[in-house]
Each structure stands twice: as C-alpha cells, then as structure tokens.
Amino acid sequence: MPNTIISREIRLASRPHGLPTPANFTLTQTELAPLSDQQVLVRNLYMSVDPYMRGRMNEGKSYVPPFELGKVMDGGAVGEVVESNAKEFKVGDAVTSNFGWREYFTAVPKDLHLVSRELQPLSVYLGALGMTGMTAWCGLNLGEVKSGDVVFISGAAGAVGNVAGQLAKLRGCKVVGSAGSAEKVRFLRDECGFDIAFDYKAGPVVDQLNVEVPDGIDVYFDNVGGEALEAALAALRVHGRIVVCGGIAGYNAEAPPPGPTNLFNMITKRLTMKGLLVRDSLDRQGEFEQEVGGYFRAGKLKNRETVVQGIEQAVGAFIGLFAGKNNGKMVVKLI
C-alpha cells in the first residue's frame, strides 16, 4: 500500500426502539492495515441503504444475523480497485461487495464481484442491476407473472417496486402501483410506465383499488404489508397470487402489528401466497444479469435512483427510507 489509508465508516452504536435515530450510529475513522498477499484494496464509490437493514439492527435470530454493536454496518456497495495483490483483479476494476458503510476496505477475491464499467453510473449495480432489481425479477418469477395479468405493486416508487413494475410491463401486464405522494404517482405513470398509480395516503387503499381496478387483480407484489395487503386480499381474483417481498409498514413497530382481518379470502378465492428471499436465488444471478441487463442496455428498462452525497449523509438517507424520501433506489455517493 503506497500511503496509509484512512477510511471513514459507520458503526452501529445502539439498537433502535421504533424508528432509528442518528444516535444509533457513529461515524468513525480507521486506518487500514497494509495490504497482504492475495488481498485487494477497494474504494467504495456508492453504498446502498436498504429497509432490510432495519431488521438487522434488532437483536435476535432471523434469516440473516443481526448487526453487531460497535461494528461497521455491512451491506451492498460498488467500488473500484485501488491496489491489488491478487491476480483476479487489477487497479481500476469495478467491483460490487457486501462490506457496506465504509469508504475503503481490503478483501480477498472471493468476496468481490467484477462488473462492467461500460454501464454508468455504476450505482446501477445497486439498483436495477443489483440486489433490488434482482428481487423484483425473482418476485415476478415466483408469482409466475405472465402477459395479460393485472399486477398490483405496493411501495411501487421504491427500488424494488419501480423495477417490478417496469419488468411486468415488459411481460405484457397491466400494472397498478401505490406510493406515498402525488409526485410519486406522477413518477410512476410518466416515468416508469405504470398504467395506474395512486397515493395510498389519499384514501383507503381498498377503496382506491375498487375504483381503479373494479374487475380485480391477478397478482399482488407486496413490499409493504399492513393496509395494502388487506386491500389486495379483497381485490384479488379467484386463483390470484401474492408475492410477499417486504413489510415496511411494520418494520419500526415496537409490537407486531395485527395481521389482515380478511385472510379468509385465501380460502374463498383459492389464493396462493409465497414468501420471497432474493438470497435464495443467487445461483440465478447470471441469468438475471443477462435478461435484465439486456433490457437496460437496450433502453427498455430505466434505473431510477435518489442519490445523496457523502458518507456523513448515509444515516439520514437510511432513516429517510421510512419517510419515503426516495424515488427509485436510495444510494449514497461516496466520492
């Protein structure tokens, strides 16, 4: 390593109760150890903040271990190789990784994934061509979404939602989205190609679905849970499908929110409800990159993002997810 590298990083200071606050995090500086054999030094260019990280701030067993107190929060990032002692990577290569909320890190090749620099900005690898885009693609596959389906997506203006909507349009579906403001409704209709969009804060979701899609929906792509799930259960047609991707409406609840009051629809309408975990499909990443990367390169799929500048803004960007501060993927630009 030519010079000493000082890297800033964000650590978990305490576990939140309800909505996280800046006091739950600390921004600190650390000096990186000299690069050893087979190691690569990476400077992150963009890092991701994601709703699932809220769950990892809690103690307790889940599908992924909790963040440790006093340790750096890990998560998706895209960066460039600054120095390499490994034959697999050379200086200037763009790589994705999961080392998260820090400016620089050292890693071994198996923990880095080479991506093409041709696609710009590289933050696309956190959005449409990254974990959230892949979640959208996996969710549509899980729900066996096909041409002619009427698909309702909640949290539609976010990272997963907007890509799910764009991909469903490419499959020949009629796409309906809900989001939390009039500006987001316009974004969904005018920029993401949704057929129908409505503001879930403007009136009961069940009533708005009744007005917008009186003949019902075939598929519900759930990013939110709560009221949206209950409304979708009412709107689904016989043999309808629900893809359960997320439940952000409940992530900051201090006690589990009550479940839908109308689950009986599962029986009367013979509905199917499937849970999605994108990490189950990592073996399909190549297929995802080929199909969805192809749409992106052809200009058929747009990467939508909200970019904040600087690691010192990361905590605010993360907390902002729970107040709907993002259109598309929320990313933090580090240089």
Ligand X SMILES: NC(=O)c1ccc[n+]([C@@H]2O[C@H](COP(=O)([O-])OP(=O)(O)OC[C@H]3O[C@@H](n4cnc5c(N)ncnc54)[C@H](OP(=O)(O)O)[C@@H]3O)[C@@H](O)[C@H]2O)c1
- The site for ligand X (CB under 6 A) is made up of 50-52, 132, 135, 155, 157-161, 179-181, 184, 223-224, 245-249, 276-278, 321-322, 324, 326, 330
β-pairing, 94-97 vs 77-84, is antiparallel
Q: Which is nearer to ligand X, 48 or 84 (CB)?
A: 48
Closest approach, Cβ 143 to ligand X, in A, equals 13
The residue type of 133 is: G
Q: Which is nearer to ligand X, 104 or 296 (CB)?
A: 296
Q: Which pair of tokens denotes residue 167?
A: 């991909």
- Integer Cα distance of 183 and 162 in angstroms: 14
Q: Which is nearer to ligand X, 12 or 248 (CB)?
A: 248
- Integer Cα distance of 229 and 83 in angstroms: 48
Q: Which is nearer to ligand X, 145 or 224 (CB)?
A: 224
- Integer Cα distance of 129 and 108 in angstroms: 23
Closest approach, Cβ 177 to ligand X, in A, equals 9
Closest approach, Cβ 22 to ligand X, in A, equals 18
User: Which residue is nearest to ligand X, using beta carbons?
Assistant: 158
Q: Which is nearer to ligand X, 128 or 248 (CB)?
A: 248
Q: Which is nearer to ligand X, 7 or 97 (CB)?
A: 97
Residue with tokens 């709560």: 226
Closest approach, Cβ 31 to ligand X, in A, equals 33
Residue with tokens 């809220």: 54
Element (H, E) at 330: strand 329-333
Give the sheet arrangement for strand 196-199, strand by strand.
196-199, 174-179, 150-153, 217-222, 236-244, 272-275
Sort residue 149 into left (φ over 0), alpha (ψ -120 to 50) or beta: beta
Closest approach, Cβ 253 to ligand X, in A, equals 9
Torsion angle of alpha carbons 26, 329, 201, 56, nearest 10°?
-40
Which residues are CB-contacts of 95 (< 8 A; sequence separation ≥ 6)? 40, 42, 78, 79, 80, 81, 89, 112, 113, 114, 115
Sort residue 115 into left (φ over 0), alpha (ψ -120 to 50) or beta: beta
Contact 221, 164 (CB under 8 A): yes
- Integer Cα distance of 278 and 237 in angstroms: 26
Q: Which is nearer to ligand X, 79 or 130 (CB)?
A: 130
Closest approach, Cβ 96 to ligand X, in A, equals 15
Q: Which is nearer to ligand X, 117 or 279 (CB)?
A: 279
Cis peptide before 121, with omega less than 30 degrees from 0? yes
Closest approach, Cβ 313 to ligand X, in A, equals 16
Q: Helix (H, G, I), strand (E, B), or coil: what is residue 3?
A: coil
Q: Which is nearer to ligand X, 112 or 224 (CB)?
A: 224
Element (H, E) at 140: helix 131-142
Closest approach, Cβ 127 to ligand X, in A, equals 9
Closest approach, Cβ 205 to ligand X, in A, equals 10
